[in-house]
């Protein structure tokens, strides 16, 4: 799965303010009923990766290419 259209991630809890541009094609995972940008997408040991691991970068279900279907 991947992001269909680029969007801005507004991190409410981050120590570094400002949005992060998430490009189309960023890898997406599905966990606990929510779509997330995979933390491994961000540079290793970066604040962006930290925030993705601890707070998550949610992706709107309508912005996911090939979303999971409920079984």
pLDDT tens digits, one per residue of 10-37: 987 777 778 999 999 999 999 988 999 9
- Total-model pTM: 0.85
CB of 59 closer than 8 Å to CB of 17: no
Task: Name every residue whose Cβ is closer than 8 Å to that of residue 62 and which is 6 or more positions away in sequence.
Answer: none
Mean pLDDT to the nearest integer, 53-59: 93
Task: Name every residue whose Cβ is closer than 8 Å to that of residue 31 and which is 6 or more positions away in sequence.
Answer: none
CB of 33 closer than 8 Å to CB of 61: no
Rg (CA), the chain: 12
Please name every residue paired with 9 in a beta bridge, in sequence order, or none if there are none. Answer: 20
DSSP-derived letter for residue 70 is -
pLDDT score of 71 more than 60:
no
Instruction: Calculate what percentage of the chain has a pLDDT beyond 70.
Output: 96
């Amino acid at each position: 799965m991947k992001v269909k259209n680029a969007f801005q991630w507004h991190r409410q809890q981050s120590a570094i303010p400002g949005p992060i541009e998430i490009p189309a094609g960023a890898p997406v995972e599905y966990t606990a009923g929510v779509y997330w940008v995979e933390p491994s997408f961000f540079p290793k040991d970066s604040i962006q990766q930290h925030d993705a691991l601890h707070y998550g970068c949610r992706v709107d279900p309508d912005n996911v290419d090939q979303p999971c279907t409920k079984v």
